[in-house]
Every structure is written in C-alpha cells, then in structure tokens.
Structure 1
C-alpha cells in the first residue's frame, strides 16, 4: 500500500512531544504524526481512534506508564510497532518493553533527527502493509493524494507531470468499497483492476475503515465503468452482507479530488445510514429529498406509554422512521441522540408510573450502546422496537411490579431534588422517618442502597448533560448535586467505566 506511515507520540512532557512533531518535515520522509497523548491510558484511546502504524512512547508517565502501556497495547494489537524513549537509568524498564514486543528504543539524551528517522525507517520496514519505499513513485503518488484530500493543492510542475503520466484521462471518480480487513482491501484492489481493465486505479490513503479508490478513465468509457462497478457491487452483495458501496460523480481534474472527497464522498458515506439495503449509492442518482414535514411529538408518544398503549407508541415510532428515511441529509448523530434520549424518557415515565423492572433497568444501558453503535436506521429502529417490546411486558405486568405509595413518594422526591445537597438524614427528616429505618426500608424495596440509587440518578443526568456540548464538566458536577468535582469524576467512572471527559469525547466522536 502506498501511503504515509502513521505515528502516535506518547510522552507526559509537552515540550518533548512538540519537539518530535516539529523535528523535520515528516511527510517528506514518508511519515505522518497523527496524534499525541500524555500517558498510556490516553494513548490507548488514541490508538483506538487513530489506528497508528508506529507508537513512540516514553517510559515514566503518570496514570499508566510506558511499560504497562506497551504490555496492554501489544496484547490487543500486536501489529502496531512501538519505539521506546528512555533515559540511561530506565533501561530495566526498556528491557521489559522489548520483551513484550517493542521494536526498538532511543535514549532521550542522545535523541537527534537522524537517529530518530533511522529508527523509524527500520521500524516501518517491518510493517508489510506499508512496503516503505520513500523513493518509489507509487509512494509519492499516495502522498500527493493524501495532500489533496487534506485541502492542499499540487503546484510543482514535476509533481503534476507524474500525476498526468499515472492518470492520463480527463474523467475521474472516487469509489468506496464495502470491505474492512487489510487482506480484503488488497484483494479488492486486485479485483477492481481485473474487473475494470481499461481504468487506472489507485487506493487513496484516507482515514477510513473502508477502502477508497481513485478511478481514471477515458470519458467515452465512463458509463461503461459505472455499469461495471454497479454489477460488481451486486455480486459482492453490498448492502446485504456488508456496507453499501459509494461512487462519486465524475470530475475532470486530479486537483478537484479534495473538493469531491470532502463535499460529496463523505456525505454519501453518511447517507448509507438511511439506505442499508442498496448495493451502491451514486451522488447524481440520489432519490428526491423529502425533509421531515413534522416534528416527533414526544408528549404524545409518552402518553401512549402511560396509558399502556405500547403498540400505538411502536407504530408511531415506525412511522417516524419512514419519515427519517426520506430525509437522508438529516444528521445521524442528532438522530441517534434523539432516539437515545427517547429511551431515557420512557424509563423515567415508567418510574413515574410506579412500574419497576430490574431487567429493564439493567438492559437500558445496552440499548443506549446499541443505538450509538448502529450502522443503519433500520438497525436503530430494531433496537427501539426490542426496547418497546420489553416496555410492553413491563406495563402489562409480566416484567414489572408496583411499589407501595410511600416508596413512590420517596423516589419522586429524590428525582426532583437530586441537584441539592441530599443525604439520608435530610430525606429522613423530610418524611419524618428515622434515618436507620429509612435505610433499611429503602434497601428492602430497591436492589441498591439509598446513596447508590441517588448517585445513579445524578450520573444518569450527568450523562444526559455531557451528551450536549453546552456546559463544562465542572458546571455539570455542580448541576447534578456534587460539590466536590473530583468526587463526581470518581463516581462517574465507577458507574460508566469512563471519566466524564472521555465519555464526552467518545460520544462526540
């Protein structure tokens, strides 16, 4: 594959990270600094998001040190190569990282441009996917394409001459094929070249899980090429066993590639969310757009739930899904957020109805996760439909049970005053209970204790606030009843497994 080698820098010292980033023009040497992290825990998240080829990491760092980071990384992603930075006194740790799969190390006191470049080149040479050849014209072409999709233009006449030699025709298209594994991507490139014998074809080094190809053909054969691609998508069962393929409209210059990629191709890839059953989406062949003519009536939907008309609520959801499918430019993130909040509102409504279901209480987080991870509108609606079936069982009495009136008032009070300094003593005083009795009474009706239940209410509200980007995390901790910000972060991580900042980053990603 002809693309830049992606590098992630991990060091708790900001100046060290900046020094490495600005050591030289990395792209001219075949490398791209894709990101940085200040500790091992943060680096693991960056690895997941950025998928680097090589990681340069320090040893001594807070939260998770380099030794633990390398051990964890190589256990889950052994294909990623690691270069360790260390001082003379840390060599025992270096030895440990080498035993766990690190490729090489550099002593910090001797760090200089030439040594770092040599170590990176040696390490990149171990990665079969890269086939690192800085002098190779194919590699340079990959670099040109990467610059184009990043918004840069080619101005050097020698560079343009190389492009014209490689792509001699005046008709270009960008194609996205629905395969994700590295071996499948390489196989797909071979099949494309075989299937489109008269077409120049090159894989684009873009940040995409699916392979993107630049196609160049004689304008007189463009219709023939489009027909062949549609046939190939059908044969690969695109939209049935895998993601739909995407094909841009034609453009007549290599220099237009970046605009077409950013303004057309990325949008088409998002539109696949609404057209999961189509084998291929072509920009000029999109169906007529019908924007939503009405707003979803949340109050009416929840009234159906309150009156045990769950089937009517499900029908209303399905009707809304059909409307969303015709409004294919609607933001996917906003739709998922809305439907996730719908699940949250239904669970609150059930609590107001005095319906308790331990199974639904536990499974709602799975529903949130499945909505967030769904690849298509149909998949989201299947999750919602399953959720509403479970709600129907609860409201019919099969999965839920009614609590006594005192417990209902107690829970309502906690939901209404969670943002205030609320403790067992204050609530006991309000309801004229003995604190010890209230604690036992609460535990006998709920699977968790008073404090744990209160924390759960607060954290659920905090999650809702974090899913919007309008309020800072310190403000959120106060808004949900925590006077100590660090304690809020500790409780939040206990319930969700993530810090508030990582939760927000993951949601917005």
Structure 2
C-alpha cells in the first residue's frame, strides 16, 4: 500500500514537473515573440492540465483554473519586462470573464490560445516600438558623425546593443548593412560639395569621412556610374556654363 501511494506521488510529481517545464517554455516563447512555438507548447500542456486535477474532479473547472493560472504567470512576466500594466489589466480582465463564461472545455482551450496570441502581440508591439527608437537613435548618430572615422562598434556602443543584434535590426529597417548605409550618406554629401567647386576632390573625400581618395572615387563610381571629377564636370556643364 505504501509503495502504491509512493508510485502515485512520484507520478504526480513527474506531471507537475512537466507542467512547470512546459509553462516555462510558453513564457520564454512569448517573451521572444515566438507565437508558433508558444501555441505548439500550449497544445502539449493542455493534456497535462487535464491530468493534474485542480478542479475537484470537474474537468471543465480544472482546465479553467489552469489557464487562469497560466494567464497570471504570463502577466507577471510581461510586467517584469516593463510593459504597461494598465493595458495588461484590461486584457487580463477580458480573458478571465470569457474563460469563466465558457461552457465547454473546447471553448476554454480556444480562449487560452487566443490569450497567448494576444499577449505575444503585446510583446512584439513593444519590441517593435523599442526597435524603432534604437534605429532612429543609430541613424541620427550616423548622420551627425559620418564625417568622422566612425565604426560599427561606435554605433553599437551608442545605442547599447550587441553588434549581432544591431546588424540584424539595422538591415531589417533600412534594407542595407551599416557600412553601405554610411557610405551612401557620405556619397550624397560629397555630391553637394562637388557642386560648389570650392574644394578639391581630395579635400571632399576627407571632409565626408574617407581617408583615401582612390577608395572614395571607386565607391562614388560604384554608386553613381561616374567618377567624382566627371560628376563635377557634368554638373557645371549642365547648370553653370550652359
């Protein structure tokens, strides 16, 4: 009899450990904005919830209690990363009402899926807002310092994120890598200076951040199809000497 009870307790402990582990995966997936993985894990945990009865033998009540508990865990995680708690209170209240008013296990489970989807969107919206701020800050820094010998490390340090994350983020929002974006700014600025005929091409290349005139001329031609000298000549022939 003692051994049988021990086996029951061991089985219950195993199920509880599985439940805790799966809930952890759901929280991590939502935090990372990985909706598909969160929903996939949620489908696994529903079966565990049914086995871990916290509804006094009523399966519907059991599922409701587990999903309400999961909602509380998700809310706490989202608040901990600094997202507006008032918004979460409204969403949480809405979900609790819908869960409690549901009359079937199928509806409660579906409401849990909807809950995870909406919370995941809250995370993604927050990350999107944060990403926009970081990229705007980085772009402003580049525009203000393009004439200096700025490096990728300088920009990453300015916005306080890793190079890997910055490069991924920058490409996502600008469609190009950091070096190409920086060179494009320098080339556009050099065009303005070439139109004034006040500086030599060497001085212009230095003024816009290039230490090597040959490299500047090569990039300029790659970008425009003509050399800086040809660009200046064409501009003056078209607009000044006509």
- The structure having more radius of gyration, on CA atoms, is 2
Per the shorter chain, which TM-score range? 0.3 to 0.5
Q: Which has the higher helix share?
A: 2
Report the TM-score, using the length of structure 2 for normalisation: 0.43
Report 1 or 2 for greater relative contact order, CA contacts < 8 Å, sequence distance ≥ 6: 2
Report the TM-score, using the length of structure 1 for normalisation: 0.21
